[in-house]
Amino acid sequence: MKVAVVGATGMVGEVMLQVLAERNFPVTELIPVASEKSVGKEIEYKGSKYKVVNLQTAVEMKPDVALFSAGGETSLEWAPKFAAAGITVIDNSSAWRMDLTKKLVVPEINADVLTKEDKIIANPNCSTIQMVMALAPLHKKYTIKRIVVSTYQSITGTGVKAVKQLENEYEGISGEMAYPYPIHRNAIPQCDVFEENGYTKEEMKLVRETQKILDDKTIAVTATAIRIPVVGGHSEAVNVEFLNDFQESEVRKILHETPGVVVQDNLDTKTYPMPIYAQGKDDVFVGRIRRDGSQPNTLNLWIVADNLRKGAATNTIQIAEYLVANQLL
């Protein structure tokens, strides 16, 4: 199978290559794709070297699937060109997520919506993926009425420039800034740009994408997204109100039995999810599971995942695996 990785030299692109190798995805020919300034550079994959090509060359090479992680503008311009050439695109940007004609997929939840006709498939936002991974089985059992979520997001969600900013500040070096403020020893209550309603794009992604993935527009969602000086992954404090009551023991059992979710919730041993331990892992970790005593049918959860893996690269490749397994490519 010919596989193109668009944005192969970026932070998510590099993780995509790692995950493809780790999961033994059936790559017979790798086509690393990047901007013109990277064309001709060599990428190593499973002991072989591959030259980076530009987007037009990649289209002409006719890969079976193209994994996009090169930003929204690139996806809007080039995903349709790949699709027109018969290439299935799985896009990691926000470009196609809310397009009514495109599927927004977390494989464990709704991969069954995919068909051979889907040539551009949207990968959800990292913070949305980890939240719905935990909430989807609970929604099925108790029916979600409202979600209040506060996120504490890794700088890796911004990219290499942000990681460099933190490293520079930690070492007392002046350098290029990814954020308008220092991130070292700080928390910035802004992820992405503000919309007219006063919420950031990141916050509104949690609202809109959750409703689309769970296929339920009646779910009320309100979000606050915060950038913190952490590298390992995103953390979320989630307060969820259900239409039906629950037993905490049953909630734990449901989550424990959910593929891709790991329950870490033992107060005696101070066991709970943290990004330092989630880094490099594909699972979504859930802990601090407890009833909200201030109102009926309401639960608090703490959800952590590596935003570059399950939040981006791994979910993208799991979609591709589903397409292969079900002969949809």
The predicted-structure confidence for 212-240, as pLDDT tens digits, reads as follows 999 999 999 999 999 999 999 999 999 99
Per-residue confidence (pLDDT) for residue 305, from 0 to 100: 98
**Please, what is the average pLDDT of the chain?**
97
H and E: helices and strands count for the chain: 10, 14
Per-residue confidence (pLDDT) for residue 91, from 0 to 100: 98
| Architecture of the domain whose range is 127-307 | 2-Layer Sandwich (3.30)
Per-residue confidence (pLDDT) for residue 249, from 0 to 100: 98
The predicted-structure confidence for 253-285, as pLDDT tens digits, reads as follows 999 999 999 999 999 999 999 999 999 999 999
Domain chopping of the chain, boundaries: 2-124+312-325, 127-307
Residue 70's Cβ-count burial label (10 Å; 0-12, 13-18, 19+) is buried
Residue 63's Cβ-count burial label (10 Å; 0-12, 13-18, 19+) is buried
Which distant-in-sequence residues (6+ apart) come within 8 Å of 5 by Cβ? 13, 16, 17, 20, 30, 31, 32, 33, 66, 67, 69
The predicted-structure confidence for 315-327, as pLDDT tens digits, reads as follows 999 999 999 999 9
**Of 120, 87, 92, 128, which Cα lies nearest the Cα of 13?**
92
Q: Which of 139, 184, 191, 234 is catalytic?
A: 234
The predicted-structure confidence for 32-90, as pLDDT tens digits, reads as follows 999 999 999 999 999 999 999 999 999 999 999 999 999 999 999 999 999 999 999 99
Whether 184 is catalytic? no
Per-residue confidence (pLDDT) for residue 123, from 0 to 100: 98
Per-residue confidence (pLDDT) for residue 1, from 0 to 100: 94
Residues 225 and 202 sit within 8 Å (Cβ to Cβ): yes
Residues 29 and 93 sit within 8 Å (Cβ to Cβ): no
Element (H, E) at 282: none
| E strand spans, 63-216 | 65-68, 88-91, 103-104, 120-122, 144-153
Per-residue confidence (pLDDT) for residue 131, from 0 to 100: 98
Q: Does domain 2-124+312-325 have CATH number 3.40.50.2000?
A: no
Q: pTM for this one?
A: 0.97
- 51 sits in the region (left: phi over 0; alpha: psi -120 to 50; else beta) called beta
Question: Which pLDDT band holds residue 103 (cuts at 50, 70, 90)?
Answer: very high
Per-residue confidence (pLDDT) for residue 195, from 0 to 100: 98
Interior angle at CA 202, CA 244 and CA 71, nearest 5: 130
Per-residue confidence (pLDDT) for residue 236, from 0 to 100: 98
Element (H, E) at 141: helix 126-142
Whether 126 is catalytic? yes
Per-residue confidence (pLDDT) for residue 277, from 0 to 100: 97
Taking the C-alpha atoms of residue 133 and residue 205, their distance in angstroms, rounded to an integer, is 15
Residue 40: phi and psi, rounded to 5, are 95, -20
**Of 70, 2, 25, which Cα lies nearest the Cα of 322?**
25
Percent of the chain with pLDDT over 70: 100
The predicted-structure confidence for 131-150, as pLDDT tens digits, reads as follows 999 999 999 999 999 999 99
Per-residue confidence (pLDDT) for residue 267, from 0 to 100: 96
